[in-house]
Amino acid sequence: MSDHTRLDGGLVLRTATPADLEQIVALSLAAHGDDEERGLRMFFADPRVGPSRWTVVVDGERVVSTLGLGSATARVQGLDVPAGWVEYVATDPAYQRRGLVRAQMDRVHTWSAQRGDLLQIIQGIYYFYRRFGYAYALRSAERVQLRRGAKAAVPDGWSVRAADAGDLDAVAALDARASAVADLSLVRSRDEWRAVLDGIHPQERSWVAVHDDRVRGYARTRARDDLRQLYEVAVDGLDAARALAGHAAADGDRAGVALCRRPGTPWDALLDDIAVAFEPSPSTDYARIADPVAFLAHLRPVLSERLAASPWAGDRGSLRVTTYVGGFRIDYAGGAVTAVEPAAPLEEPDDQNVGVPPDVLPQLLLGARYPRELERWHDDVVLGQQAGLVAALFPKLTHDAWFWF
Ligand SMILES: CC(C)(COP(=O)(O)OP(=O)(O)OC[C@H]1O[C@@H](n2cnc3c(N)ncnc32)[C@H](O)[C@@H]1OP(=O)(O)O)[C@@H](O)C(=O)NCCC(=O)NCCS
């Protein structure tokens, strides 16, 4: 068949078929653990994913490597950005370090670009995905823990119970309100919410805080990798936040529970009072922007808003950015970005131009860090005399990037 690609050693890369499912499950559970079975089958059954968005490498009839491409939507200051999302990456130990994941990544990145994704995202093991153009550009929530002696109890008249499918509307509305506070979030569809409330992973639970028979708060808990955490908390006020914190405190060893912040929400305000930092700090998730010109052209309305609110609102000019392997130019006039065009790479940006290497660029474009921070940490990030304009166009953003899976 046309999508079969021959690899070294007689191996073949191809799109998965429904008949591959049991082998994919066996390979993936051996790599990721038995707890992943429900999620994996769900991902494979998702009409937007498998099997036609799933790849396998086979040795004869045997599946020896696999991964799947899901879809996601990132929302940046109100603008939706279509994204591809790679999951369940695994290679049989006897076939590792032979480029099998690299070959499949190339395949799904092509699929993702063809369907119009401007971004790819992954939650994954350290470093590995940087080999494929990903950068640590999606900041996870900061974790804290209850301060010793802090009072945390479910307020009178409130209760916390396991969430169920009937809570979907209330939970989705609470979450939408919480995530709207952030500059960058991942949008969750109703189907994804349904899956979350049904339960994806045996170690995860969803909870609701109830008052007067109304759902006023939502949280998810997870016990995994020796870490118990309470995350995705969405509440309509401080009492709902107190109810969820009180419930978490009553649930065993309070010092061992990491509470994930959600900046700008009542939950966060409560944590300011009752919590202290939790170690280890959270990992950052990966993002890849293969075509910065297309990404920035899509983001033009947002860039224009930022520009219009900056001291450059009345100026006309062009910001040229070299990534050393490519580059782009952002033209602006009258408080609007008028064009984003490709530009030839420069080896050495001068004062008027900006240099950002490709493996740092997603951090800048997604506002993971202040541009000045990036310049301080990376010798090859050069902002020159354009530092102010870069900061205006690419401010550090608040991130609320919860993967539903
Ligand atoms: C991690 C894993 C998926 C890699 O699969 P693989 O088929 O060996 O990967 P590839 O050979 O395509 O690796 C691509 C490149 O990354 C390198 N690499 C492989 N494993 C790596 C790792 N764990 N960390 C860093 N680099 C790694 C390879 O050497 C190769 O480099 P090259 O392109 O310069 O030659 C595989 O080891 C595995 O299944 N591990 C257990 C499950 C797991 O951790 N999955 C990922 C969950 S997010």
Each residue of 69-85: pLDDT tens digit? 999 999 999 999 999 99
Is residue 31 lining ligand 1, measured as CB closer than 6 Å?
A: yes
Verify that 28 and 65 share a domain, yes or no.
yes
The CA distance from 278 to 231, in Å, is: 14
Structure-token match 């301080």, residue found: 376
Last residue of some domain: 277, 304, 330? 277
Stretch 244-257: mean pLDDT, rounded?
77
80-94, 113-127, 242-256: segment of lowest average pLDDT: 242-256
Last residue of some domain: 256, 277, 298? 277
The residue whose CA is least distant from atom 36 of ligand 1 is: 91
The atom of ligand 1 lying closest to the CA of 88 is 47
The predicted structure's pLDDT at residue 159: 97
Contact 340, 329 (CB under 8 A): yes
Is residue 100 lining ligand 1, measured as CB closer than 6 Å?
A: yes
Tokens matching residue 255: 């010092």
Q: 140, exposed or middle or buried, with CB in 10 Å at 0-12, 13-18, 19+?
A: buried
Verify that 327 and 394 share a domain, yes or no.
yes
The answer as to whether 154 is a domain residue is: yes
The CA distance from 67 to 89, in Å, is: 4
The residue whose CA is least distant from atom 9 of ligand 1 is: 101
Q: 212, exposed or middle or buried, with CB in 10 Å at 0-12, 13-18, 19+?
A: exposed
Tokens matching residue 122: 């992954």
Tokens matching residue 297: 């052209």
pLDDT surpassing 60 at residue 1:
no
CA of 322 to the centre of ligand 1 (A): 30
Tokens matching residue 336: 């609007």
CA 9 from centre of chain: 35
Stretch 6-22: mean pLDDT, rounded?
96
The CA distance from 288 to 281, in Å, is: 23
Radius of gyration of the chain (CA): 23
The CA distance from 82 to 34, in Å, is: 31
Each residue of 271-294: pLDDT tens digit? 999 998 887 766 789 999 999 999
H/E stretch holding 104 reads: helix 100-114
Is residue 378 lining ligand 1, measured as CB closer than 6 Å?
A: no
- What CATH number has the domain bearing residue 357? 3.30.1050.10
The predicted structure's pLDDT at residue 56: 98
CA 346 from centre of chain: 31
Contact 112, 104 (CB under 8 A): no
The CA distance from 232 to 241, in Å, is: 12
CA of 324 to the centre of ligand 1 (A): 26
Verify that 166 and 112 share a domain, yes or no.
no
The answer as to whether 371 is a domain residue is: yes
Verify that 269 and 333 share a domain, yes or no.
no
pLDDT surpassing 60 at residue 255:
no
DSSP 88: E
Is residue 323 lining ligand 1, measured as CB closer than 6 Å?
A: no
The predicted structure's pLDDT at residue 109: 98
Q: How sure is the predictor about 353, in pLDDT bands with cuts at 50, 70 and 90? A: very high
The predicted structure's pLDDT at residue 176: 96
pLDDT surpassing 70 at residue 254:
no
The atom of ligand 1 lying closest to the CA of 102 is 12
Verify that 147 and 270 share a domain, yes or no.
yes
Is residue 17 lining ligand 1, measured as CB closer than 6 Å?
A: no
Verify that 271 and 333 share a domain, yes or no.
no
CA of 90 to the centre of ligand 1 (A): 8
Structure-token match 């080896």, residue found: 347
Q: Return all residues near 114 (Cβ < 8 A) that are at least 6 apart.
A: none
CA of 123 to the centre of ligand 1 (A): 14
Q: How sure is the predictor about 68, in pLDDT bands with cuts at 50, 70 and 90? A: very high
Is residue 72 lining ligand 1, measured as CB closer than 6 Å?
A: no
In which domain, by residue range, is 367 found? 290-399
Contact 229, 259 (CB under 8 A): yes
pLDDT surpassing 70 at residue 253:
no
The predicted structure's pLDDT at residue 148: 84
pLDDT surpassing 70 at residue 303:
yes
Tokens matching residue 387: 């530092």
Verify that 270 and 295 share a domain, yes or no.
no
Verify that 310 and 345 share a domain, yes or no.
yes
The answer as to whether 134 is a domain residue is: no
CA 217 from centre of chain: 23
Tokens matching residue 82: 């279509």
CA of 100 to the centre of ligand 1 (A): 8
Number of other residues whose CB lies within 10 A of the CB of residue 370: 15
- What CATH number has the domain bearing residue 70? 3.40.630.30
pLDDT surpassing 80 at residue 356:
yes
Q: How sure is the predictor about 252, in pLDDT bands with cuts at 50, 70 and 90? A: low
The residue whose CA is least distant from atom 25 of ligand 1 is: 128
Tokens matching residue 154: 């479910």
